[in-house]
């Protein structure tokens, strides 16, 4: 395994036991997903609601116990189901952090901003005196563009955008190398989205951060990502460099996603017609056989129904899982 | 750039194509700072207390309770009679009546403290007995509720936080306890304890309380916490769903710190409300048991046992039944009103 990647995830699976009638069946929220992230790089992760993006982020941070697979962070194996490696996460919590999807439920309503941002400092004992703690919190608030005078306020007194900034400051408090950004802007107003996305970019430049940037808005992801991964029903469909994926989508699902994106400039609008996806996303409990996308795919063949397509390189690291050449 | 933003019909968006760059003025630093100005900071408790203060019934209840507590604490210091003092010749007086010997003393110019509620059939001042009865009732109610709170909170938070199979087993135990007949158990325990403990505790402070009271506390500790445990478990299950608990895990916060800092503070309102409502129910149980003769042991009065003793002379001395009954009603009503007020003020689901 090369250590030039900050994160390597291979064959990661996360099945949740759910009650279906009287039986407990596995809900395959994430099924056999592999990807890598280089230092200082942003990998965008897109897919429809419920396809398992959040679960990928949480599982690789070990907030959930993975069902199987392998997670390597910065050369250290965090989890490997085959070699039975399952390390204590405490030291790694300082290096990998998460910004949560919902700025309203991700901040404790009974804590002040100061205590929310200060908690990681407390837990990892990152200060020697009360004064140092205070200074660090002020600095963090400044970094994310919050007024330091509001440190003693409670989270519910802030707007959505400000709350998301508090969440970002909390993640930055331990000075991590890698942050999972779980749809950090989708709950925000469009005008504020741009501000927050730009802040993520600035922070990346200043601190050399790596991101797994989850979103369902392809335009936002294209803007911030170096590479983009497309997920469908817990499976990885396609990974490629951001520009390559936008210009030359290979997987039928990616093609349909891209055709649904409103194009800002009509002059450069693609001549191709909108591909309208038919039918609904199947329930993750009733996964189609073979290719998970085949129930809605225009190119589906006999083979697609029988066999899961392999995740293969179509040149220049453009990985696709599809039988259609 | 401009033609990229075409105004959609009926959209509230400003049509930028009608403006040019000169139409806009840069915001000054002061104007930018105005964006940061926020309303006055309110905490959860300030907010709740403000709402509580606006509730007249709850404020009335608090007033009654404060007055009651002052009377209960200070009346025995002022009134020269003890709850067990038997005054010969002063039996069966009506309120503010004096006995023959007391009238003689008054005639001599000595001052005699009036029997505000009269005296009972043994010649004990009835006002002081009611005061002591209320004291016993309140103390029993508060301590029984604290006991219930402690056990219920510990059990409920463990069950709710751990979840899964542990939760399943712990909740089945709660179900079993829930189905036990509580009154039957108190009566059985009181009888058994009287036989076994009676001689052991003789001479200690427990003897003053009596084995019946001990049985009552044991039953509260054994049975009554289940409601509290269920409630807190349910609360914790919902709070656990919040992303801030996951965020705490992501930071590396320990389990105990997570429970103490993130989970319990968020179910504090429910804990306070339920405890406030638990006190009157405990007082009621105690009064009921004392009434049927299973409460505190004589000569210590309790509101229930006073009411019970008053039954014999009910026709000639109806006030002896009315005073303790009224005291029970007042205490229980005030506490219930306060509990309801607290719920209205602090339960975020009802407000907003
Ligand atoms: N703790 C859990 N227990 C059981 N099922 C879960 C759990 N968490 C997620 N799931 C299920 O896993 C699937 C993927 O959920 P996930 O939250 O990862 O989707 P998502 O891609 O993040 O969607 P969204 O864009 O709406 O956030 C869903 O079907 C969801 O119901
Ligand atoms: S494998 Fe078959 S069904 Fe799946 S996306 Fe490719 S062509 Fe469509
Ligand atoms: Mg999600």
pLDDT tens digits, one per residue of B98-112: 888 888 888 888 877
Domain boundaries along the sequence of chain A: 7-40+47-90+228-321
Range scoring the smallest mean pLDDT among B161-175, B200-214, B219-233, B265-279: B200-214
Residue B57 near residue B341, CB atoms below 8 Å = yes
- How far does the centroid of ligand 3 lie from the alpha carbon of residue A73, in Å? 22
Give the pLDDT confidence of B241-291 residue by residue, as tens digits: 889 999 999 999 998 899 888 988 888 888 888 888 888 888 888 888 888
What pLDDT sits at residue B313? Answer: 79
Q: Which has the higher per-residue pLDDT, A138 or B113?
A: A138
**Mean of pLDDT values over A211-224:** 88
A227 lines ligand 2 (CB under 6 A): no
Q: Establish whether this prediction's ipTM goes over 0.90.
A: no
Among candidate residues A221, A210, A215, the one with its CA nearest the CA of residue A179: A210
- How far does the centroid of ligand 1 lie from the alpha carbon of residue B41, in Å? 36
> Per-residue pLDDT for B80 more than 90?
no
Give the pLDDT confidence of A201-210 residue by residue, as tens digits: 999 999 999 9
A55 lines ligand 1 (CB under 6 A): yes
Angle at A270 between CA A266 and CA A271, to 5 degrees: 105
Tokens describing residue A269? 């609008």
**Mean of pLDDT values over A129-137:** 93
Grade residue B173 by pLDDT with cuts at 50, 70 and 90: very high
Q: What is the mean pLDDT of chain A?
A: 88
What pLDDT sits at residue B42? Answer: 63
Nearest CA in chain A to B5: A264
Domains of chain B, start order = 44-85+124-351 (1.10.3720.10), 87-123 (no CATH)
Grade residue B10 by pLDDT with cuts at 50, 70 and 90: low
- How far does the centroid of ligand 2 lie from the alpha carbon of residue A285, in Å? 20
Total-model pTM = 0.77
> Per-residue pLDDT for A1 more than 50?
no
Grade residue B78 by pLDDT with cuts at 50, 70 and 90: confident
What pLDDT sits at residue B12? Answer: 60
Q: Which has the higher per-residue pLDDT, B77 or A278?
A: B77
CB A119 to CB B36 under 8 A?
no
What pLDDT sits at residue B40? Answer: 62
Q: Which fold has domain A7-40+47-90+228-321?
A: Rossmann fold (3.40.50)
Give the pLDDT confidence of B29-57 residue by residue, as tens digits: 776 666 666 666 666 777 788 888 888 99
- Chain A contact present for B256, CB below 8 A: no
Residue closest by Cα to atom 5 of ligand 2: A322
> Per-residue pLDDT for A15 more than 90?
yes
What pLDDT sits at residue B3? Answer: 46
A237 lines ligand 2 (CB under 6 A): no
Q: Which has the higher per-residue pLDDT, A265 or B328?
A: B328
**Mean of pLDDT values over A60-80:** 93
**Mean of pLDDT values over A233-243:** 93
> Per-residue pLDDT for B210 more than 50?
yes
What pLDDT sits at residue B99? Answer: 80
CB B36 to CB A63 under 8 A?
no
Helix (H) or strand (E) holding B161: helix B126-162
Q: Order of strands across the sheet with A7-20?
A: A23-37, A7-20, A68-73, A76-80, A85-86
- Chain A contact present for B262, CB below 8 A: yes
**Mean of pLDDT values over B55-71:** 93
CB A106 to CB B44 under 8 A?
no
Q: Which has the higher per-residue pLDDT, B95 or A123?
A: A123
| Residues of chain B above pLDDT 70, percent | 86
> Per-residue pLDDT for A104 more than 80?
yes
What pLDDT sits at residue A267? Answer: 56
What pLDDT sits at residue B2? Answer: 43
What pLDDT sits at residue B174? Answer: 92
Q: For residue B41, give the nearest of A100, A152, A264 by CB distance.
A: A152
Q: What is the mean pLDDT of chain B?
A: 82
Give the pLDDT confidence of B304-321 residue by residue, as tens digits: 888 888 888 778 888 888
- Chain A contact present for B163, CB below 8 A: no
| Residues of chain B above pLDDT 90, percent | 20
């Amino acid at each position: 395994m090369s250590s030039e990647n900050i994160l390597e995830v291979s064959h990661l699976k996360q099945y949740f036991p759910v009650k279906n009638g009287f039986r407990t069946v596995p809900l395959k929220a994430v099924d056999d997903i592999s990807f890598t992230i280089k230092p200082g790089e942003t990998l965008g992760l897109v897919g429809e609601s419920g396809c398992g993006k959040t679960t990928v982020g949480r599982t690789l941070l070990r907030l959930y116990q993975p069902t199987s697979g392998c997670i390597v962070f910065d050369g250290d194996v965090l989890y490997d189901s085959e070699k039975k490696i399952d390390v204590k996460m405490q030291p790694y919590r300082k290096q990998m952090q998460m910004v949560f999807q919902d700025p309203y439920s991700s901040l404790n309503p009974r804590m002040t901003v100061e205590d929310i941002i200060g908690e990681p400092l407390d837990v990892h004992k990152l200060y020697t005196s009360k004064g140092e703690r205070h200074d660090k919190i002020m600095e963090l608030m400044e970094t994310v563009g919050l007024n330091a005078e509001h440190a003693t306020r409670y989270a519910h007194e802030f707007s959505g955008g400000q709350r998301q900034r508090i969440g970002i400051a909390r993640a930055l408090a331990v000075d991590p190398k890698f942050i999972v950004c779980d749809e950090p802007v989708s709950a925000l107003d469009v005008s504020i989205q741009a501000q927050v996305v730009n802040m993520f970019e600035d922070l990346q430049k200043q601190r050399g951060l790596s991101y797994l940037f989850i979103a369902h808005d392809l335009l936002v992801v294209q803007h911030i990502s170096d590479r983009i991964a497309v997920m469908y029903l817990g499976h990885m469909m396609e990974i490629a460099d951001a520009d390559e994926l936008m210009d030359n989508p290979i997987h039928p699902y990616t093609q349909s996603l891209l055709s649904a994106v409103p194009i800002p400039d009509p002059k450069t609008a693609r001549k191709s017609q909108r591909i309208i996806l038919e039918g609904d996303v199947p329930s993750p409990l009733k996964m189609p056989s073979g290719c998970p996308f085949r129930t809605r795919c225009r190119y589906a063949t006999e083979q697609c129904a029988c066999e899961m397509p392999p995740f293969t390189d179509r040149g220049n690291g453009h990985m696709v899982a599809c039988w259609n050449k | 750039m401009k033609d990229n933003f075409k105004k959609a019909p009926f959209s509230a968006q400003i049509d930028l194509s009608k403006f040019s760059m000169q139409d806009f003025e840069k915001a000054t630093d002061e104007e930018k700072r105005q964006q940061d100005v926020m309303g006055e900071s309110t905490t959860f408790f300030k907010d709740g207390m403000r709402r509580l203060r606006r509730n007249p019934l709850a404020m009335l209840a608090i007033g009654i309770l404060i007055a009651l507590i002052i009377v209960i604490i200070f009346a025995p210091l002022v009134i020269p009679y003890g709850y067990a003092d038997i005054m010969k010749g002063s039996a069966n007086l009506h309120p503010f009546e004096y006995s023959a010997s007391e009238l003689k003393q008054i005639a001599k110019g000595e001052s005699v403290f009036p029997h505000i509620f009269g005296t009972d059939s043994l010649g004990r001042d009835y006002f002081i007995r009611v005061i002591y009865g209320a004291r016993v009732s309140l103390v029993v109610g508060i301590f029984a509720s604290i006991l219930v709170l402690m056990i219920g909170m510990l059990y409920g938070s463990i069950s709710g936080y751990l979840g899964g199979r542990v939760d399943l087993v712990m909740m089945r135990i709660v179900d079993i306890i829930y189905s036990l007949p509580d009154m039957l158990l108190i009566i059985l325990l009181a009888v058994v304890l009287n036989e076994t403990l009676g001689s052991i505790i003789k001479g200690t402070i427990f003897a003053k309380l009596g084995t019946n009271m001990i049985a009552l506390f044991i039953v509260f500790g054994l049975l009554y916490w289940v409601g509290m445990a269920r409630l807190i478990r349910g609360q914790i299950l919902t709070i656990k769903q919040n992303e801030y608990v996951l965020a705490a895990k992501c930071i590396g916060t320990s389990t105990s710190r997570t429970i103490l800092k993130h989970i319990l503070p968020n179910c504090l309102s429910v804990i306070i409300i339920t405890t406030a409502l638990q006190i009157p129910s405990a007082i009621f149980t105690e009064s009921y048991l004392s009434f049927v003769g299973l409460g505190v042991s004589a000569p210590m009065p309790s509101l229930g046992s006073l009411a019970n003793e008053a039954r014999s002379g009910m026709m000639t001395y109806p006030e002896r039944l009315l005073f303790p009954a009224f005291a029970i009603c007042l205490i229980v009503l005030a506490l219930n009103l306060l509990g309801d007020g607290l719920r209205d003020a602090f339960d975020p689901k009802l407000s907003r």
